[in-house]
Amino acid sequence: MNNALKSNQQMTKWVMHSKQTRKTQTRLKEKAYLNFKLISQAVFITTVLSTASGAFAHEEDDSHANHHVTTQKIKTSSAGYNLPQVNLVRADGKTVSLPDELNDGRPVIMNFIYTTCKATCPLSSQIFSQLQRKLGNEREKVHMVSISIDPEQDTPTRLTDYAFKYNAGTQWQLYTGTIEASLATQRAFDVYRGDKMNHVPVTLLRAAKGKQWLRIDGFASADDVLQQYRTLIAAQ
């Protein structure tokens, strides 16, 4: 009798323990599911906000760029510039003669930049980046040139990073050098303004060695530059 009673008591305790265990497991599963759901929602919201923020920033940059390009007045003129006999340093670290680089048999499209610039240069470089895309396979026949007006800061390594930022192709080369060489080049092309902070957007095009340069003062769009380039080539 006592054994049977003990057995029933043990069975009852086991059943109660099993029920309690199942309840605990159920609560743990529910809690785990709730945590998973909350984490998933947080990840989703973060992803959406990040994507929206990136898209907005890109849209804002494009809008800002287009605003400047479309509202800035541009002026075109022809000029004959005497190339200074100076050496510059390409982004690949090679010291080269500026006249040799500009007279290598290709049409030239050139501007002046510096890598820490926050206003003029990013937009000018963005236009160059768009231009090379619009040129397509034709771009390999063109020599796109960007010359630093801040050679003290713009080392070849910095120029390489800058070129990568704007997806510069092999036809688009960036140059630095000594202060003297940079100043001589800026003065030769009448872009020197006394201080890099006074830098203004200028694009220079030339169809071939010995030809006149076409000068564009202001932010010309990539389409405008492309049209001017093709007009120059057709007129040869």
Q: Which residues are annotated as a binding site?
A: 117, 121
Angstrom distance (rounded) from CA 72 to CA 66: 10
Those residues of the chain that have pLDDT short of 50 are 5, 15, 34, 36-71
Q: How far, CA to CA in Å, does 137 sit from each of 70, 124, 134, 142? A: 27, 22, 9, 10
Q: Is 217 helix (H, G, I), strand (E, B) or coil?
A: strand
Angstrom distance (rounded) from CA 189 to CA 29: 74
Angstrom distance (rounded) from CA 75 to CA 215: 8
CATH superfamily name and code, 74-234: Glutaredoxin (3.40.30.10)
Walk across the sheet containing 143-148 and list its strands: 75-79, 213-217, 202-206, 108-113, 143-148, 172-176, 87-90, 95-97
Structure confidence at residue 46 (pLDDT): 39
Do 90 and 174 meet the contact criterion of CB atoms below 8 Å apart? yes
Structure confidence at residue 236 (pLDDT): 80
Q: Which residues are annotated as a binding site for Cu cation?
A: 117, 121
Angstrom distance (rounded) from CA 73 to CA 59: 23
Angstrom distance (rounded) from CA 144 to CA 131: 10
